[in-house]
Amino acid sequence: MPDPDRIIRLKTVLARTGLSRSTIYRKIAEGTFPAQIRISIHGAGWRESEINRWIADPVGWWPEGEGD
């Protein structure tokens, strides 16, 4: 059984990807980076599996279900 998908916060995403905060949000708007998911009224994060998928292939990354 696969590990449950952890939700990671912006600080972790910045460290893992080496991108700046503004670059991450620009790429989300362009559709070339995983979008955040809301985890509370004031909090959001990313699925760790999506960030791992992006890190493995930043140029070829597409949202799940698109480009498959």
pLDDT digits (tens, 9 = 90+) for 28-49: 999 999 999 999 999 999 999 9
pLDDT digits (tens, 9 = 90+) for 45-68: 999 999 999 999 999 998 877 655
Q: Give the per-residue pLDDT at 23.
A: 97
pTM summary value: 0.85
* CA dist 66 → 14, 28, 31, 38 (Å): 25, 15, 11, 21
* CA dist 12 → 9, 47, 67 (Å): 6, 11, 27
For residue 1, is pLDDT > 90? no
Mean pLDDT along residues 5-30: 96
